[in-house]
């Protein structure tokens, strides 16, 4: 039986970081992956691309699709007034998506990782014991086993849905003909990103959101800016609603959309995208045999990424609590420190994890939202600044209703922040750095930001907080001091 320091099950973003980092630190590593896709990079030989959901069905193809949709949107509303160019030919768009994947695939390929010294075992991995993993009938032994098998779309139990046919984030990129009408089940990040993209490419899009507003993890005022933008572009959004049944009539799918108030409306559509949450890939892993605890939501792991079985670790979507590529990569670093380093065990920094919804405008978040702080009874104050008063945003035409806000504690330390703007994701990093290092909001005001730049929004928020420190009593003292200095 081959023996390894690390046996990693799953070649997604988290698993790849563990594997590459492990061999880089001198460990012997086996990487088990059951789903590698062939790609032909523009300047190299064909490769077997791993990368999990991120490369194959998630971040990479969706962002390439969003870029194409943005280009179509710019043409439709461009300064030359070319008018609506009509629905796009989806074939070339998806070929561009595939090209973006192919350009990135070598970084995540079987060939690269084999070259790094990782033993890549193609096939489904199954735990036989806390240290043994079986792949294609062969068993390998690992001092530590890391489960990084990711997640997949959760399919709701809607009568008629399975019979009518539907798309998920895995199958939608196989389309080559633009659906005239697209109904999206789910108003979370995947639903709104792909819904907006297909609307900009020319589909008539309806989003059915079971929550009070799209992007339910965001504050209502933040989500409202995005919802207004979606509706302005022609997306029909049903809040507090669910798809209660699906039928096929005359070649079209008819979705009964039932609202929270009990009223219902039938929506005809040509395609249905299910984006109603995720479920962990735990089936067939042998978790029961190894004694690893898990639920329908995740493998149960602590802040060190360790399960109840000391030799088994879990990271990424299969463990949570966040389902982001960067979170999985971050957890991978925690596991490497905890399995290969003799120092004290490291813990995940959940409170300083940022995330971005890549719509237009984007929504970027870190830490507590305003609504979370209220619900949890956390003492706080909220300050915000509008991009309508930011000179660069005015020049770019991205002011509008977009804004940034920061939640602080009574001592001025940052508890959380949210930004809604087309470049929100790029702007969030400065706030994350300040929050992680315990800096007060005033620290953002002391930074010299270049003019004109969108980053000046941070100083603007800080100045809003500074204004509250100038009480009437303090101002009266300053007036007296100024008068004295004029003598």
The per-residue pLDDT for range 273-301, each reduced to its tens digit, is 999 999 999 999 999 999 999 999 999 99
**Which residue has better confidence, 76 or 227?**
227
Given a cut of 90, whether residue 438 has pLDDT beyond it is: yes
> Where does residue 279 rank: exposed (0-12), middle (13-18), buried (19+ CB within 10 A)?
middle
The per-residue pLDDT for range 110-125, each reduced to its tens digit, is 999 999 999 999 999 9
- Give the model's pLDDT for residue 250: 85
Given a cut of 60, whether residue 104 has pLDDT beyond it is: yes
Given a cut of 60, whether residue 85 has pLDDT beyond it is: no
HEC readout, 473-487: HHHHHHHHHHHHHCC
- What contacts 228, CB < 8 A, 6 or more positions away? 401
d(CA 53, CA 170): 8
The per-residue pLDDT for range 365-418, each reduced to its tens digit, is 999 999 999 999 999 999 999 999 999 999 999 999 999 999 999 999 999 999
Band (77; pLDDT cuts 50, 70, 90): low
- Give the model's pLDDT for residue 99: 95
Torsion region of 201: left, alpha or beta (phi above 0 gives left; psi -120 to 50 gives alpha): alpha
- What contacts 16, CB < 8 A, 6 or more positions away? 31, 50, 51, 52, 108, 113, 332
β 354-357/362-367 pair status? antiparallel
Q: Which two tokens stand for residue 183?
A: 């109904």
The per-residue pLDDT for range 329-355, each reduced to its tens digit, is 999 999 999 999 877 689 999 999 999
β 181-185/204-208 pair status? parallel
Given a cut of 80, whether residue 142 has pLDDT beyond it is: yes
d(CA 162, CA 245): 10
Band (176; pLDDT cuts 50, 70, 90): very high
- E strand residue ranges, 80-211: 119-122, 125-127, 132-135, 138-147, 151-153, 181-185, 204-208
Give the residue among 128, 126, 107, 133 at the shortest CA–CA distance from 29.
Answer: 133
Given a cut of 90, whether residue 487 has pLDDT beyond it is: no
Share of the chain above pLDDT 70, in %: 97
Band (80; pLDDT cuts 50, 70, 90): very low
d(CA 450, CA 442): 18
Given a cut of 50, whether residue 486 has pLDDT beyond it is: yes
The per-residue pLDDT for range 228-239, each reduced to its tens digit, is 999 999 999 999
d(CA 283, CA 125): 11
- Give the model's pLDDT for residue 82: 41
**Average of pLDDT values for 126-148?**
97
- Give the model's pLDDT for residue 469: 81
- What contacts 379, CB < 8 A, 6 or more positions away? 409, 410
Given a cut of 80, whether residue 472 has pLDDT beyond it is: yes
- Give the model's pLDDT for residue 79: 45
């Amino acid at each position: 039986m081959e023996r390894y320091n690390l046996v990693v099950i799953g070649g997604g973003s988290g698993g790849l970081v563990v594997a590459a980092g492990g061999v880089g630190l001198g460990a012997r590593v086996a990487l088990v992956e059951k789903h590698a896709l062939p790609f032909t990079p523009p300047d190299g030989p064909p490769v077997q691309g791993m990368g999990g959901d991120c490369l194959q069905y998630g971040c990479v193809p969706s962002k390439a699709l969003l870029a194409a949709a943005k280009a179509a949107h710019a043409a439709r509303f461009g300064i030359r007034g070319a008018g609506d160019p009509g629905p796009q030919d989806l074939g070339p768009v998806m070929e561009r998506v595939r090209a973006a994947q192919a350009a990135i695939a070598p970084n995540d390929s079987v060939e690269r990782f084999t070259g790094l010294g990782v033993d890549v075992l193609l096939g489904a991995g199954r735990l036989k014991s806390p240290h043994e993993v079986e792949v294609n009938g062969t068993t390998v032994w690992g001092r530590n086993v890391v489960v990084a098998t990711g997640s997949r779309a959760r399919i709701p139990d809607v009568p008629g849905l399975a019979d009518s046919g539907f798309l998920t984030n895995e199958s939608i990129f196989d389309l080559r003909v633009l659906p005239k009408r697209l109904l999206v089940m789910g108003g979370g990040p995947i639903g709104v990103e792909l819904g907006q993209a297909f609307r900009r490419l020319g589909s008539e899009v309806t989003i059915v959101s079971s929550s009070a507003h799209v992007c339910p993890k965001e504050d209502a005022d933040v989500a409202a800016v995005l919802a207004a933008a979606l509706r302005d572009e022609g997306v029909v959004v049903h809040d507090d609603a669910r798809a209660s049944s699906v039928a096929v009539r005359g070649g079209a799918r008819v979705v009964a959309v039932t609202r929270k108030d009990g009223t219902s409306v039938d929506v005809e559509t040509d395609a249905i995208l299910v984006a109603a949450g995720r479920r962990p890939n735990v089936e067939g892993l042998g978790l029961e045999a190894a004694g690893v605890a898990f639920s329908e939501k995740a493998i149960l792991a602590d802040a060190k990424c360790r399960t109840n079985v000391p030799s088994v670790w879990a990271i990424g979507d299969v463990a949570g609590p966040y389902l982001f590529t960067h979170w999985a990569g971050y957890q991978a670093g925690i596991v490497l420190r905890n399995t290969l380093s003799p120092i004290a065990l490291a813990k995940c920094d959940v409170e300083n994890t940022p995330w971005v919804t890549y719509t237009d405008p984007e929504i970027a978040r870190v830490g507590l939202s305003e609504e979370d702080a209220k619900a949890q009874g956390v003492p706080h104050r909220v300050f915000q600044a509008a991009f309508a008063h930011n000179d660069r945003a005015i020049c770019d035409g991205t002011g509008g209703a977009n804004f940034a806000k920061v939640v602080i504690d009574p001592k001025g330390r940052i508890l959380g922040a949210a930004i809604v703007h087309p470049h929100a994701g790029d702007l969030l990093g400065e706030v994350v750095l300040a929050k992680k290092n315990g800096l007060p909001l005033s620290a953002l005001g002391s930074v010299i930001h270049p003019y004109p730049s969108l980053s000046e929004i941070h100083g603007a928020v800080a100045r809003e907080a500074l204004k509250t420190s100038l009480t009437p009593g303090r101002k009266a003292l300053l007036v007296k001091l100024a008068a004295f200095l004029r003598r």
